[in-house]
């Protein structure tokens, strides 16, 4: 991983771009120094209404990088005391200085690098490896132009047999290597444009990891769509440790099957759950708080191969019930699973991932999506969907949304 990080850093030094208005603003040399980077960020935030679409997308990244939220005074005053851009100056001016991933990704976004996240760079490397391996697989073994046979016919037969065995071994090795690359590639759910994160561990572990990839739901019914001519999306499980519930009723529509582990989606654990604190549930619908782990499957119901090339979380609504109108609690079951995920903030509504996942006819792929949020989400409940899109070999495409809308609250976020 450190080698990939170093490669990403080298890539950025050669592929960042000087902003079109850098010279107009009189910011001096580029690559930038400590002060000029701060001035450029301040320019974008304080002139938001004049920014183009590309620069507008930089605003949530700037807020997150400097740890700024609205209501904490002016951004100009906030950034004036920050020394975070010193790491950016050191990156460009010191030969072997490599800052943390968050800073590298901020540099990539702020200065318009074509691959603007660690995960998208990693996915690009994986794609390149896969293409090289695929090319090697179909390469014709090179046989020497002059095969000198000066002994006997038996010697010739032995030589040809050796060449054939070597070629077979080479092709077998190539197939195994390609399979390994493809398996690794499908595990990479990378490339978040908005503050990408890799989640090291969540609070639901051993028991969840032991659930096998069964393509049926809790009632033994295969997950299908209304049409047999497009992939289908099925929510298998929802897990969480912390939860919130209303003191009266939620002011929005919720899934009658439930919204978190305390529902049909939480089987086999839901029947064993008990609130860690006072039991005040009384048939009210609980919503995950601070973190939600979604397990789902996408199935190819067609007779042709499809490729999933984009996954994104789309925020639909945001609610802000007062903290004294909801209870906060935790379940006494604590398990967990390693996962890649989305980290939401209150500024962005779309969180995209680029990937490359092949779906053969009739094949299902299984995903674990860990959804969290940064400190700007505190005090809110978000409603969102997860969307997959892809294409086929004939250039046709598909987009499929999650089979339900998910809710996730953020109260007293740690």
pLDDT in tens, 71-127: 778 888 888 888 888 999 999 988 888 888 889 999 999 998 888 887 788 778 877
- Contacts of residue 131, defined as CB under 8 A and 6 or more positions apart, other chains included, come to none
When pLDDT is averaged across residues 126-144 and rounded to a whole number, the result is: 67
When pLDDT is averaged across residues 232-256 and rounded to a whole number, the result is: 86
Ranking 55-69, 137-151, 274-288 by mean pLDDT, the lowest is 137-151
Contact indicator for 285, 260 with CB cutoff of 8 Å: no
* Cα 386–Cα 387–Cα 393 angle in degrees, nearest 5: 150
The pair of structure tokens assigned to 146 is 């002059």
Going by their DSSP bridges, the two strands 364-373 and 292-299 should be labelled as: antiparallel
When pLDDT is averaged across residues 149-161 and rounded to a whole number, the result is: 51
Structure-model confidence comparison of residues 345 and 188, the more confident one = 345
The predicted pLDDT at position 382 comes to: 93
When pLDDT is averaged across residues 333-346 and rounded to a whole number, the result is: 59
* Nearest by Cα to 9 from 86, 85, 122, 129: 122
Alpha-carbon distance of 225 to 213, in angstroms, equals 19
* Residue the block writes with tokens 């440790």: 241
182, pLDDT greater than 70: no
414, pLDDT greater than 60: no
Strand arrangement, sheet containing 232-239: 197-199, 339-344, 364-373, 292-299, 232-239
55, pLDDT greater than 80: yes
Determine the distance from the C-alpha atom of residue 271 to the mean position of all C-alpha atoms in its chain, rounded to a whole number: 31
pLDDT in tens, 349-386: 888 877 788 888 888 888 888 898 988 888 899 999 99
Going by their DSSP bridges, the two strands 364-373 and 339-344 should be labelled as: parallel
Structure-model confidence comparison of residues 131 and 22, the more confident one = 22
SS3 71: coil
The predicted pLDDT at position 405 comes to: 93
When pLDDT is averaged across residues 279-297 and rounded to a whole number, the result is: 84
Residue 320: which pLDDT band, with cuts at 50, 70 and 90? confident
Alpha-carbon distance of 259 to 382, in angstroms, equals 12
When pLDDT is averaged across residues 253-281 and rounded to a whole number, the result is: 80
Half-sphere exposure of 232 (CA within 13 A, CB side): 20
Which stretches does DSSP call E strand in 208-286?
Answer: 232-239, 242-246
């Amino acid at each position: 991983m450190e080698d990939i990080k170093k490669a990403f850093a080298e890539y950025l030094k050669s592929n960042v771009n000087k902003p079109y208005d850098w010279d107009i603003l009189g910011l001096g040399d580029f690559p930038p120094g400590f002060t000029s980077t701060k001035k450029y960020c301040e320019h974008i935030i304080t002139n938001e209404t004049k920014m183009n679409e590309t620069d507008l997308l930089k605003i949530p990244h700037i807020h997150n990088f400097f740890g700024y939220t609205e209501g904490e005074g002016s951004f100009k005053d906030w950034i004036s005391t920050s020394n975070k851009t010193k790491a950016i100056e050191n990156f460009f001016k010191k030969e072997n200085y490599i800052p943390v991933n968050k800073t590298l990704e901020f540099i990539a976004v702020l200065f318009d690098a074509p691959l603007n996240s660690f995960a998208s760079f990693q996915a690009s490397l994986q794609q390149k490896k896969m293409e090289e391996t695929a090319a090697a697989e179909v390469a014709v073994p090179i046989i020497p132009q002059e095969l000198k046979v000066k002994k006997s016919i038996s010697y010739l037969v032995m030589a040809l047999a050796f060449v054939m065995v070597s070629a077979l071994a080479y092709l077998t090795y190539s197939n195994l290597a390609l399979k390994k690359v493809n398996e690794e590639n499908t595990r990479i759910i990378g490339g978040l444009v908005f503050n990408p994160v890799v989640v090291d561990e969540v609070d639901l572990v051993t028991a969840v990891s032991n659930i096998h990839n069964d393509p049926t739901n809790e009632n033994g019914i295969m997950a299908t769509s209304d049409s047999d001519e497009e992939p289908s999306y099925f929510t298998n499980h929802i897990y969480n440790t912390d939860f919130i519930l209303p003191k009266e009723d939620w002011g929005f529509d919720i899934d009658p099957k439930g919204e978190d582990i305390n529902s049909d989606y939480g089987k086999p654990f839901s029947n064993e759950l008990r609130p860690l604190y006072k039991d005040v549930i009384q048939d009210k619908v609980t919503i995950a708080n601070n973190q939600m782990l979604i397990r789902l499957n996408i199935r190819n119901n067609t007779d042709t191969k499809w490729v999933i090339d984009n996954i994104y979380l789309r925020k639909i609504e945001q609610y802000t019930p007062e903290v004294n109108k909801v209870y906060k609690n935790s379940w006494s079951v604590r398990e967990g699973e390693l996962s890649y995920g989305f980290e939401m903030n209150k500024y962005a509504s779309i969180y995209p991932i680029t990937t490359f996942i092949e779906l053969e006819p009739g094949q299902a792929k299984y995903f674990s999506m860990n959804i969290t949020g940064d400190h700007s989400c505190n005090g809110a409940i978000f409603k969102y969907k997860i969307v997959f899109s892809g294409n086929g070999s004939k250039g046709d495409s598909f987009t499929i949304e999650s089979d339900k809308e998910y809710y996730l609250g953020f109260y007293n976020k740690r």
